[in-house]
């Protein structure tokens, strides 16, 4: 019997046993989202309000936090609504929008981390030329590219996926990602696969290699430098390396395992792996930079302890 292809108006999400304790999970999801908004919002506001933090490194950190809010807002509200519903589903157009937002969030994350690595490289390896190289124009261009690049390439991903007729409407996850929708198609998806693998190779291969190369150069420069320079490099580079490592591990598990063997994994493990990619970085990043960056930590405390102005 031949497969019947169609374009569904609604896709069914697989929440599995999550619905058995849906009110408990609703509370946890709501707490998680509120925590992400507060932590990232505090860093953004702190950087925006203090001129002493209007430096490339802190600007990139605030952009990283903005991206965390963007990615989380594409995931948490939808998850919360579906937990409260009797039937977990999402409209096909909303699914495509969620695909675009979640994937562009991931690509933007690694792009911003690359900008931060370049900033640290110039600061430590070319300190005398730092202000000339990392001027406001350069920072603006780097931020612009880190946003436009994901929009363009993920727009292509969604465009290729939207053209596919589907023969099923059941997604294995509780949110939409590109591969979960592509696998529902009964027609040839070679173009989608090649394009997706190309983006993955660049995002999780080429860009991280460039970042690690910059840190090799930084390490070499530190070996020949004074103790003061080494301490400065350790203070500013350690949070970035923690963020990068955490993001790469989460993303690699999410893409590789769910792409090649989603149905063979226990449902609980699939849930955990999906949550890692969308939950851990948005919470961990502001905590890392808030705790490790002395200037941000100091200004956050000042913001929290500031007395409200009286009229």
With a pLDDT cut of 70, the percent of the chain lying above it is: 85
- Average of per-residue pLDDT across 126-137: 91
At 286 the three-state DSSP class reads: helix
Q: Is the pLDDT of residue 268 over 70?
A: no
pLDDT at 272: 67
Compute the distance between CA of residue 34 and CA of residue 76 in angstroms, rounded to an integer. 10
CATH superfamily of 18-303: Rhodopsin 7-helix transmembrane proteins (1.20.1070.10)
Compute the distance between CA of residue 71 and CA of residue 208 in angstroms, rounded to an integer. 20
Least confident of 14-18, 36-40, 217-221: 14-18
Dihedral sign computed on CA atoms, order 94, 95, 99, 105: positive
Distances (CA, A) of 33 to 4, 12, 37, 102, 254: 40, 23, 6, 15, 20
- Average of per-residue pLDDT across 280-303: 76
Q: Is the pLDDT of residue 145 over 50?
A: yes
pLDDT at 262: 57
The domain segmentation of the chain, as residue ranges, is: 18-303
pLDDT at 150: 93
pLDDT at 175: 86
pTM of the predicted model as reported, rounded to 2 decimal places: 0.87
Highest mean pLDDT among 136-150, 170-184, 193-207, 274-288: 136-150
**Are 215 and 237 in contact, with CB atoms under 8 Å apart?**
yes
pLDDT at 202: 85
Q: Is the pLDDT of residue 1 over 50?
A: no
Q: Which residues contact 21 (CB under 8 A, 6 or more apart)?
A: none
pLDDT confidence tier of residue 71, bands split at 50, 70 and 90: very high
Q: Is the pLDDT of residue 308 over 60?
A: no
Compute the distance between CA of residue 72 and CA of residue 262 in angstroms, rounded to an integer. 23
Instruction: Choose between 112 and 20: higher pLDDT.
Output: 112
- Average of per-residue pLDDT across 258-272: 63
Q: Is the pLDDT of residue 274 over 90?
A: no
What is the gyration radius of the CA atoms in the chain, in angstroms? Answer: 21
pLDDT confidence tier of residue 153, bands split at 50, 70 and 90: very high
Highest mean pLDDT among 20-34, 259-273, 282-296: 20-34
Q: Is the pLDDT of residue 221 over 90?
A: no
- Average of per-residue pLDDT across 92-105: 93
pLDDT confidence tier of residue 179, bands split at 50, 70 and 90: confident
Q: Is the pLDDT of residue 151 over 90?
A: yes
Instruction: Choose between 185 and 227: higher pLDDT.
Output: 185
306: left (phi over 0), alpha (psi -120 to 50) or beta: beta
Nearest Cα residue to 146 out of 191, 105, 93: 105
Computed over every residue of the chain, the mean pLDDT equals 83
- Average of per-residue pLDDT across 203-229: 82
Q: Is the pLDDT of residue 134 over 90?
A: yes
DSSP E strand stretches across 141-258: none
């Amino acid at each position: 019997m031949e497969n019947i292809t169609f374009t569904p108006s609604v896709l069914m999400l697989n929440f599995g046993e999550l619905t058995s304790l849906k009110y408990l999970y609703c509370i946890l999801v709501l707490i998680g989202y509120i925590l992400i908004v507060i932590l990232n919002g505090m860093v953004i506001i702190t950087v925006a309000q203090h001129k002493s933090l209007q430096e490339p490194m802190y600007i990139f950190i605030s952009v990283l936090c903005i991206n965390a809010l963007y990615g989380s807002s594409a995931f948490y509200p939808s998850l919360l609504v579906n937990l409260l519903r009797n039937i977990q589903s999402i409209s096909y157009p909303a699914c495509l929008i969620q695909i675009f937002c979640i994937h562009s969030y991931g690509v933007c994350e690694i792009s911003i981390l690359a900008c931060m690595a370049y900033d640290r490289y110039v600061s430590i390896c070319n300190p005398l030329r730092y202000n000339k190289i990392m001027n406001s124009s350069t920072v603006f261009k780097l931020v612009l590219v880190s946003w436009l690049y994901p929009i363009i390439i993920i727009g292509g991903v969604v465009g290729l996926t939207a053209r596919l007729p589907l023969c099923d409407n059941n997604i294995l996850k509780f949110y939409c990602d590109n591969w979960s929708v592509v696998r529902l198609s009964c027609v040839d998806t070679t173009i989608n696969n090649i394009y997706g693998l190309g983006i993955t190779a660049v995002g999780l291969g080429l860009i991280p290699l460039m970042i690690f190369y910059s840190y090799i150069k930084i390490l070499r420069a530190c070996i020949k430098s004074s103790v003061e320079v080494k301490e400065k490099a350790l203070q500013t580079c350690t949070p970035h390396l923690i963020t990068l490592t955490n993001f790469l591990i989460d993303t690699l598990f999410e893409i590789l395992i769910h792409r090649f063997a989603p149905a063979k994994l226990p449902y609980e493990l699939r849930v955990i792996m999906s949550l890692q990619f969308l939950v851990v970085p948005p919470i961990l990043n502001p905590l890392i930079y808030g705790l490790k960056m002395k200037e941000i930590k100091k200004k956050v405390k000042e913001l929290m302890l500031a007395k409200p102005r009286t009229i």
